[in-house]
Amino acid sequence: MARGINPKWINDVKTGVENYQNNNEDGMQFERVLNHNAAAQWLIKYMTGKGVAFKVLNLGAGVKRITTDTDVCPKCKGTGRC
């Protein structure tokens, strides 16, 4: 049985993306760490539709970090293990 995406989570993410777009000059970043593939796919489609630049970092074991910080370390690719 497939799990769905919680509508409350969707509303929280939409609010977070809108806050990021409105306050982008403050150096604010938007980031989510996800292990639910359907939620990651939804977030990627939503951010693409809004025109937000982002990066998807695979952390292993099916976990992804989706972040608007596109200047990540080229050595560890944002995992923090430099």
In this structure, which amino acid lies at residue 47? M
| Beta strand pairing call for 31-34 and 55-60 | unpaired
Q: Is 47 a residue whose pLDDT tops 80?
A: yes
Quick one: DSSP state of residue 66?
A: E
pLDDT value for 1 = 37
Of 41, 32, 38, 43, which Cα lies nearest the Cα of 65?
Answer: 32
Please state the domain extents for the chain: 28-69
| pTM for the model | 0.80
Q: Is 33 a residue whose pLDDT tops 60?
A: yes
Report residue 74 CA to chain centroid gap: 18
